[in-house]
Amino acid sequence: MTDTLKLLSEHASFGGVQRFYQHDSQVIGLPMRFSVFLPSVALAHDAAKVPALMYLAGLTCNEETFATKAGAQRRAAELGLALIAPDTSPRGAGIAGESDSWDFGLAASFYLDATQEPWSKYYRMETYLTQELVALFGEHLPVDAQRLGLFGHSMGGHGALTVALRHPGLFKSLSAFAPICAPTQCPWGQKAFSGYLGGDQSEWLQHDATALMGAKKTAPYPDGILIDQGLADKFLEAQLHPHLFEAACQSIDQPLTLRRHVGYDHGYYFIATFINDHLDHHAQILKRA
C-alpha cells in the first residue's frame, strides 16, 4: 500500500475548501478516510503552510461528522487554520463481532493501538494518527505539521487528551468537549480496554488521561488546556468524570479551564455553541509556536 491521496470530494466553504480524502494506510493495512478544511490563505500558489487542528470524533461518528455538524469552518477561515478530522476506526477489517456494539469495534477505536487479537492487526489508530497521518498531510497538503493542535469530543476527547500526553511535543495545543477523562473508571473505557488491551489494568492506565496527567512531574501544556462540559449531558455522571482530570491537573499545576454549562447535553448543538472558543484557544497558541 502507498500513501497516495485520493480526493473524494471538494466543496467551497467560507473562501476556502472542505475536502474529503482517502488513502491506503500502511499502518492500518486498509483504506482510511479523513476530512480537511483549508482556509483561503493556504490555497495560493506561493502560500506559506498554515497551522492546523486535528479533531477526533466520538463513538458512532466518522470523518464527515465534524465537518458537517460543528460549524467550525467560518471561524477557522478567519483565523487561517486548517481543520483535519480522521475516521474513528478502521473500516473493512471484517472482524467477527466488529459491528455488534455501538461502543466497541467499528467507529469505536478509542484511538489506541490494540494489543489483543484479532483487533491488533488493524486497530492501530494511535500509530496511524501520530506517525502516518501527520506525515501524510504535512507532505501533501499546505499544512505546517510543526504547528499542530489536537482536540476532540467524548471518545475523541479521551483520544485527544491521551494521545497528546503520550506524545510530548507533537501537539502544541490541546482542548476537548465532554471527554472521557478516566476510562479505567467507567463502563465505556472498561469494555474497550478489556477488548483491545486485555486484562492487564496497568496497561489500561497508559491510556487514561487522568492517570497520565497525574504521573507528570511538570505541566505538559503550560499555555493551558480547555475543556467544555454540558451539565445536562446524560453521560456525565457514569462515563466522563471531568472532576478527576481536574484534580490531576491541579496536582501538578497544569493550567486547566474546565467550563461547566447548564442546560447543554452531549451532542453537536453543544459543540457548535462553543467551537469558536476552542478555535481561538488553539490559534492563540499555534501562532506563537
Q: What amino acid positions are annotated as catalytic residues?
A: 154, 233, 266
DSSP single-letter state for residue 126: H
In the numeric block, the cell 488513502 is attached to: 23
- State how far the Cα of 204 lies from the Cα of 115, in Å rounded to an integer: 11
Contact 217, 252 (CB under 8 A): yes
Residue type present at position 128: Y
CA quadruple 70, 20, 3, 92: dihedral sign: positive
> How does DSSP classify residue 60?
T
3 state SS for 215-282: CCCCCCCCCCEEEEEECCCCCHHHHHCHHHHHHHHHHCCCCEEEEEECCCCCCHHHHHHHHHHHHHHH
